[in-house]
Amino acid sequence: MPSADHDLGPQNLGAPAHTVTREPPDRSPEHAEPSRFLPHVQGLRAIAVLFVVLYHFWPARLPGGYVGVDVFFVISGFLITAHLMREMTATGTVKLGQFWARRARRLLPASLLVLLFCAIVAATPYLTPTSALPGEMQEILASTFYVENWFLAFTSADYLNHAGDPTTVQHYWSLSLEEQFYVVWPLLMLLAAWIGATRFRGGRRRAIIWTLAIVSAASFVFCVVFTITEPAPAYFVTFGRMWQFGVGAMLALIPLLRIRHAAASFVVGWAGIAVLLYVAFTFDGQTPFPGYMAALPTLGAAAVIAASSTERWWYPTRLLAIRPARFIGDISYSLYLWHWPLIVIAPSVPFWGLTIYHRVALLALCFVLAWLTKRFVEDPARGWKVLTSRPARVTLWSSLAAMLVVGGVAGAGWAANAPAYNAGVQAIEQLREDPPECFGAATVLDEACTASDFGDTILPTPGFAGVDRPDDAECFVQLNDARPVSCEFGSDAADAPRVALVGDSHAYQLLPTFQRLALERGWHLTTWFKGACAWNTTPLSTPGAFGAACTEWRDGVREAMGEADLDAVFTAAIATTPYSAQGYDSSYDAAVAGYRAAWGEMLDQGVPVITVVDNPVWETDPNKCLRTRDAASCDEPRSAVLVEDDPLRAAASGLEGVTLLDFTDVFCGPEECRAVVGGANIYRDQDHLTVTFADTLAPWYANAIESALGRVDP
């Protein structure tokens, strides 16, 4: 995240202590030693925040823009370490209370303002679906008390490949991690200084350098290993990011690393910028990150900071110091805070679309809000005399009180909406048990229902579609979990047909429907699901542990299916899965061949396979549109949401023993794809079906399986 330490700039970090006069309570003794503001670091901050903001606005255009956060970590490590070292050089210690109080005055006012805004929005059903309320409030509380990164790590959120809609405060993970750095880093430096003074005859500086270097090296090793074994939580875990702060710290503590030679500064500075641009445009959600790949943006940022010569106007240090760059650097903290909630909320605002014009207007609004927050919140709060003229503990207790107020608003928002949330959940349960006649897909597929008209009815309502999902999460393995977990449902009779449901989350979304069919039809249902891992023999193009886990899961499932004595297999998969093209002309050909190879193992045993063409995948949850607009205005062009060349279709074509179901005409007309069909709300997020809508397809799923079993005529 953009650290807000705009007032910190190192100079003469190793200089002897100067005479110190008594300072006001809001001033640390480090101010007695001269410091120099580094404009090019402010310009580097501008690059970093623009990377993040543009990545969130246009992820396909700047797929690696998320590395801007890594740049901020390096900047913070550099500035904070220099700040602390100056104070230790001048006084022999760090006044922790004053240090933490200054950080609180600098960071909390704007942060809590945005959190308060998000809490109010989350409690407003018109802007936030009530089904999202529990997640929003939990993460607002985690962000308020700066543990959002750990919350996301423990809930296995995948920042770079997030399924569904993230909350308005997910970006607070980096602020939480940086606040934890502010707590731990001075303690670590003080401990190292004490060891140096007592054990190494006053070699405090050397002890600090060695301690931080060892911690950073250990953190880097941990980061690389943990990214391989657990990539999703590795993105958020504090210790896995400490080495990036450590790289900045080494620049602050070792003067030889700061390049003053003009030619070398020119080369190193531009090389650092080139590296940052390279990773911003070439990294993407499939890059194993952070891991060893994070070394590129980290070292790129370090190179820009190290280039300190400003002799010529074309030097990067001079260009990064121009007024527009410094302005963006000045507002970077507030810009980071505001941009993400507005992106999440905007699609729910009446009459607001997602065209390029709307996005540009929203981006401009982010800049305006950032400037206003900097001018009227950040700057005044930093020098507020009611706090700066009193002991540090007054600021710290006031900060805690403000955090409790924000937490209280979030809690009140939940309390006010909890009855509606519970009523909505019960309404969905009743809808599943007793759906209307000629509802959903039947209005397209059943000739007796084609004249049905549900008017403006949308069930489940757009505010609750998000909770209309499968309940048996224990049957669905994700991320690096390679266990071939199976679940059993339906009839236990010895002669019951044994049907398998296998695939990724687009197979898992059908689980409640198939559970009901198994009970009604007397099947014994066995399931195998893994997120983003289809039943296919072609390896994913995703590198690292996730791709390896998918391959291992498939091997385990293949063995388990071979021993299960199955009578039929139903499979589904998202059409956009990235497959390795190695050995094939394209990843599409590789996917087709992989499906055929996987199915062939069952077909060779005489087990029929039934599959289904994938449903459309939307850019954002259509329920955001449905909450404020009529259903017809929320339709999207086929070219925008439908993968016309689904490899499942090609794999099933002409393959004996395979039945292909294609419901494209249910989801889409000749030109556009729909969000609502026959009164049924199709989606619970941007690409997963509601259980309610999947249930309306149940007769056609059942008929295909019964035909494959030979129990009815095809």
Residue listed under structure tokens 């091997």: 555
- Per-residue confidence (pLDDT) for residue 539, from 0 to 100: 95
Q: Classify residue 501 as exposed, middle or buried by CB count within 10 Å of its CB (0-12, 13-18, 19+).
A: buried
- Grouping H, G, I as helix, E, B as strand and the rest as coil, residue 681 is strand
Structure tokens at 584: 């094939």
> Looking at residues 241-257, what average pLDDT do you find?
96
Among the ranges 237-251, 308-322, 422-436, 456-470, which has the highest mean pLDDT value?
A: 237-251
Q: pLDDT (tens digit, 9 = 90+) per residue, 671-711?
A: 999 999 999 999 999 999 999 999 999 999 999 999 999 87
- Per-residue confidence (pLDDT) for residue 23, from 0 to 100: 40
Sequence-ordered list of residues with C-beta below 8 angstroms from that of 58, at least 6 positions apart, any chain: 359
> Looking at residues 402-424, what average pLDDT do you find?
94
Residue listed under structure tokens 């924000």: 406
Q: Does residue 69 or residue 198 have the better pLDDT?
A: 69
511 closest CA partner among 469, 464, 560: 469
pTM of structure = 0.87
Confidence of residue 7 (pLDDT cuts 50, 70, 90): very low
- Per-residue confidence (pLDDT) for residue 288, from 0 to 100: 84
- Say yes or no to pLDDT of 21 above 80: no
Q: Does residue 262 or residue 136 have the better pLDDT?
A: 136
Task: Name the DSSP class of 239.
Answer: G
> Looking at residues 563-570, what average pLDDT do you find?
96
- Say yes or no to pLDDT of 590 above 90: yes
Structure tokens at 569: 């297999």
- Per-residue confidence (pLDDT) for residue 202, from 0 to 100: 65
- Say yes or no to pLDDT of 543 above 80: no
Q: Does residue 589 or residue 385 have the better pLDDT?
A: 589
- Per-residue confidence (pLDDT) for residue 198, from 0 to 100: 83
- Say yes or no to pLDDT of 621 above 50: yes
CA 29/CA 21 separation, integer angstroms = 8
- Per-residue confidence (pLDDT) for residue 127, from 0 to 100: 86
First vs last C-alpha separation in the chain: 59
Q: What percent of the chain has pLDDT over 90?
A: 75
Average of per-residue pLDDT values in the chain: 90
CA 510/CA 705 separation, integer angstroms = 14
- Say yes or no to pLDDT of 69 above 90: yes
Pair 244, 271: CB distance under 8 Å? no
- Number of other CB atoms surrounding residue 210 within 10 Å: 15
CA 97/CA 487 separation, integer angstroms = 54
- Number of other CB atoms surrounding residue 650 within 10 Å: 18
- Say yes or no to pLDDT of 164 above 80: no
- Say yes or no to pLDDT of 4 above 60: no
- Per-residue confidence (pLDDT) for residue 693, from 0 to 100: 97
Chain-centre distance for alpha carbon 422: 27
Query: Where is average pLDDT lowest: 48-57, 58-67, 130-139, 448-457?
Result: 448-457
Pair 309, 259: CB distance under 8 Å? yes
Helix or strand holding residue 373 (H, E): helix 356-373
Query: Where is average pLDDT lowest: 14-23, 138-147, 341-350, 568-577?
Result: 14-23
- Say yes or no to pLDDT of 28 above 80: no
77 closest CA partner among 262, 299, 319, 261: 299
Q: pLDDT (tens digit, 9 = 90+) per residue, 326-379?
A: 999 999 999 999 999 999 998 888 777 777 889 999 999 999 999 999 999 999
CA 233/CA 225 separation, integer angstroms = 12
CA 708/CA 395 separation, integer angstroms = 71
Pair 123, 416: CB distance under 8 Å? yes
Rg (CA), the chain: 29
- Per-residue confidence (pLDDT) for residue 39, from 0 to 100: 86
- Per-residue confidence (pLDDT) for residue 644, from 0 to 100: 84
The one-letter amino acid at 586: S
Q: pLDDT (tens digit, 9 = 90+) per residue, 317-328?
A: 888 999 999 999
Chain-centre distance for alpha carbon 625: 22
Pair 366, 334: CB distance under 8 Å? no
Confidence of residue 5 (pLDDT cuts 50, 70, 90): low
> Looking at residues 589-613, what average pLDDT do you find?
97
- Per-residue confidence (pLDDT) for residue 161, from 0 to 100: 54
Structure tokens at 4: 């807000």
Q: pLDDT (tens digit, 9 = 90+) per residue, 548-564?
A: 899 999 999 999 999 99
Task: Name the DSSP class of 376.
Answer: I
